[in-house]
Structure 1
Amino acid sequence: MEKLIGEFSLGLFFWQSLLFILLLFLLRKYAWKPILNAVNEREEGIKDALASAENAKLEMQNLQADNQKLIQEARAERELMMKDAREIKTKMIADAKDEAQAAANKTIANAQATIQAEKKAAIADIKSQVATLSVEIAEKVVKQELSNKDKQLELVASMLKDAKLN
């Protein structure tokens, strides 16, 4: 340090100071402004990027909320459709049961009517056969017992009195 103080030159100090000031002036005029402008532009770009990121984050949250709302609506609609399908299924089953019951009742009624008709036909047939047999038996019995005419007339008269109309 003593050597520097001992060799100090005022002229050299003046020129060095002048060159340093000139260098600062030139740096200020040609380097600092572009550097500061670049730094400011970079800072603005970063601010814009952060704002865009924040907007994207908010938009993403809104989209997620909308998605959740759509999912809830879809679930509600699905539940409504399932409920409607269950009701339709129940109604179809009830209608099918009613229809089957009506068809069974109609079949039973037809069967009963057929049975009644066949029963009446069978009774009529039996009556006819009984009447035919009765006439044949009576004819044979009458031939043997009623050989004379007075007994025949008396028998016919008593039968006419006893006869009942059906």
Structure 2
Amino acid sequence: MLSAILTAVAETKAAPNPLLPESYDIIWSAVCFAIILFVFWRKFLPSVKKTLDARSEAIEGGIKKAEIAQAEAAAALSQYKDQLAEGRAEAAKIRDQARADGTRILAELKEQAAIEAARITSNAQATIEAERQGALISLRAEVGSLAIDLASGVIGQSLSDDKRASTLVDQFLAELETDDKAKAGL
């Protein structure tokens, strides 16, 4: 059996292998590959590299621009926050000033109202005193005439003499006032 295998192997060596190409195909393929590689290396690769470098620079520039824009936005935000804080502080100051002004105006109005109330009270007291004096004079005249009529009826004489009648009325009213003061003192 060994001899059969060896003869079979010998026969197979003589036949060309369909998987292995001939040596001239390998040489010409290597020459074509070298030419294409050289052209690719000299012509195509530098333009691809140039394009990639341009894209890289554009991306880096975009990143730098984005960083600058971000820094500017942060500065603008900080400035906005500062202005907002200043605005709030100024609004608080205006509110405090308005409260102080309101308090001052209220105090002035209260003071004016107190002055006006005091003036009205003093006018009312003066009016009351004047009316009291007028009522006293009117009452004195009426009480005097009633007293004279009563005294004339009691005495049975006419008291037409003004001096006598006036003296009599004054004495009567004086007695009434002393009686009223004595009663008030109890």
TM-score scaled by length of structure 1: 0.69
Q: Any residues of structure 2 matched to 1:69-148 within 5 Å, and which?
A: 69-136=82-149, 141=155, 143=157
Give the number of equivalent residue pairs: 139
Q: Percent identity?
A: 25
Q: Distance in 2 between matches of 1:138 and 1:16?
A: 171
Range that drifts further, 57-66 or 98-107: 98-107
Q: Match for 1:48 among 57, 61, 81?
A: 61
TM-score scaled by length of structure 2: 0.63
Q: Distance in 2 between matches of 1:134 and 1:9?
A: 173
Alpha-carbon deviations, 1:3-26, whole Å to 9, x = none? xxxxx969964x555434422321
- Aligned Cα RMSD in Å? 2.9
Q: In structure 2, what is the equivalent of residue 162 of structure 1?
A: none
Q: Distance in 2 between matches of 1:143 and 1:69?
A: 107
Residue 35 of structure 1 and its aligned partner are, at CA, apart by 0.5
Q: Which has the higher contact order (CA 8 A, sep 6+)?
A: 2
Q: In structure 1, what is the equivalent of residue 80 of structure 2?
A: 67
Counterpart secondary structure, 2:157:
helix
Q: In structure 2, what is the equivalent of residue 5 of structure 1?
A: none
Residue 72 of structure 1 and its aligned partner are, at CA, apart by 0.6
Matching residue's letter, 2:108? D
Give unmatched runs, 5+ long, in structure 2.
1-21, 159-163, 168-186
Residue 54 of structure 1 and its aligned partner are, at CA, apart by 0.7
Matching residue's letter, 2:50? N
Q: Distance in 2 between matches of 1:66 and 1:136?
A: 102
Give unmatched runs, 5+ long, in structure 1.
1-7, 145-155, 160-166
Counterpart secondary structure, 1:27:
helix
Counterpart secondary structure, 2:69:
helix
